């Protein structure tokens, strides 16, 4: 199961952490700067998924790009370090996410598969209260490759003692990273799509397209 956008309200944590970062560094920023950062950051994570940028470069370049655009003088490495610190302490769960994971865990072994930064995700999982329900987690840093690439899914299966792929399903909100990645690996996918985004043209339809946690629980007979 994916974390950010699926059970973690990442946009809320991102917004909070961004402003805390620049406030701590004594740099005034407004919603226009944040809006541009949000766009650039999203674009760069897409580049990471397509293999067009390394994670180490993404961390600083997302800030360098925005600060150059708004003539903000600061070290992007230091800014990223502060941002990661704040982000690791910011956990906002979607309504119903805890109950969703609790009920899933009664019948299924849950393994988190995330492109988020390793230190961030382990700390956020701990703070979220979901640790009792999510038995394993693999990050793209640990696997050496992000979703939708195969190595991260292989690593997840290994953590789960290599179950039969036919008995597994991936639940995630990103069609490109989660659904496409799962099918390329040979595992079924549930697309958590509460925003009702359209199915990308020419793509294989997921096992289930769900607008709520209850739809997923009912489909999986939980």
CA gap 176, 53 in Å, rounded: 16
Give pLDDT tens digits for 6-51.
999 999 999 999 999 999 999 999 999 999 999 999 999 889 988 8
- Only one residue has tokens 């906002």, namely 92
- What percentage of the chain has pLDDT greater than the value 70? 100
Give 137-140's long-range contacts (Cβ < 8 A, gap of 24+).
137/111, 137/112, 137/113, 138/111, 138/112, 138/113, 138/114, 139/114, 139/115, 140/48, 140/55, 140/114, 140/115, 140/116
pLDDT of 121: 94
**Could you give the 3-state DSSP secondary structure of residue 139?**
strand
Phi, psi of 116 (to 5 degrees): -65, 160
**Could you give the 3-state DSSP secondary structure of residue 111?**
strand
So where are the chain's domains? 10-88, 97-219
Give pLDDT tens digits for 148-173.
999 999 999 999 999 999 999 999 99
CA gap 171, 179 in Å, rounded: 8
Which token pair is 104? 């899933």
Give pLDDT tens digits for 104-149.
999 999 999 999 889 889 999 999 999 999 999 999 999 999 999 9
pLDDT of 35: 97
Task: Say yes or no: do domains 10-88 and 97-219 share a fold.
Answer: no
Q: What's the pTM?
A: 0.87
pLDDT of 201: 93
Question: Mean pLDDT over residues 214-221, rounded?
Answer: 97
The runs of H, that is alpha helices, within 25-88 are 31-49, 55-69, 76-88
- Only one residue has tokens 């509460």, namely 194
pLDDT of 173: 97
**Could you give the 3-state DSSP secondary structure of residue 52?**
coil
Question: Mean pLDDT over residues 181-192, rounded?
Answer: 97
* CA 99 remoteness from chain centre: 19
- The Cβ of residue 152 has, within 10 Å, a number of other Cβ atoms equal to 25
Nearest to 188 by CA among 174, 175, 207: 207
Half-sphere exposure in the Cβ direction for 110 (13 Å, CA): 23
Angle between helices 55-69 and 31-49 (to 10 degrees): 150
Residues 93/119, Cβ–Cβ less than 8 Å: no
Can you name the CATH fold of 10-88? DNA polymerase; domain 1 (1.10.150)
What's the length of the chain? Answer: 222
pLDDT class for 181, splitting at 50, 70, 90?
Answer: very high
Can you name the CATH fold of 97-219? Rossmann fold (3.40.50)
């Amino acid at each position: 199961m994916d974390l950010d956008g699926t059970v973690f309200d990442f946009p809320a944590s991102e917004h909070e952490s961004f402003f805390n970062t620049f406030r701590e560094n004594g740099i005034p920023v407004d919603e226009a700067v944040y809006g541009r950062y949000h766009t650039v950051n999203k674009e760069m994570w897409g580049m990471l998924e397509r293999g067009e940028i390394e994670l180490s470069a993404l961390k600083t370049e997302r800030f360098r790009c925005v600060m150059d655009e708004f003539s903000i003088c600061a070290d992007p490495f230091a800014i990223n370090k502060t941002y990661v610190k704040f982000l690791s302490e910011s956990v906002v769960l979607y309504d119903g996410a805890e109950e969703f994971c609790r009920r899933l865990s009664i019948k299924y072994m849950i393994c988190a598969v995330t492109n988020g930064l390793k230190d961030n995700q382990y700390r956020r999982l701990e703070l979220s209260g979901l640790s009792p329900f999510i038995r394993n987690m693999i990050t793209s840093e640990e696997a050496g490759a992000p979703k939708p690439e195969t190595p991260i899914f292989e690593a997840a299966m290994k953590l789960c003692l290599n179950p039969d792929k036919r008995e597994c399903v991936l639940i995630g909100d990103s069609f490109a990273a989660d659904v496409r990645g799962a099918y390329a690996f040979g595992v079924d996918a549930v697309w958590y799509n509460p925003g009702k985004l359209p199915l990308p043209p020419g793509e294989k339809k997921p096992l289930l397209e769900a607008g709520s946690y209850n739809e997923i629980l009912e489909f999986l007979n939980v």
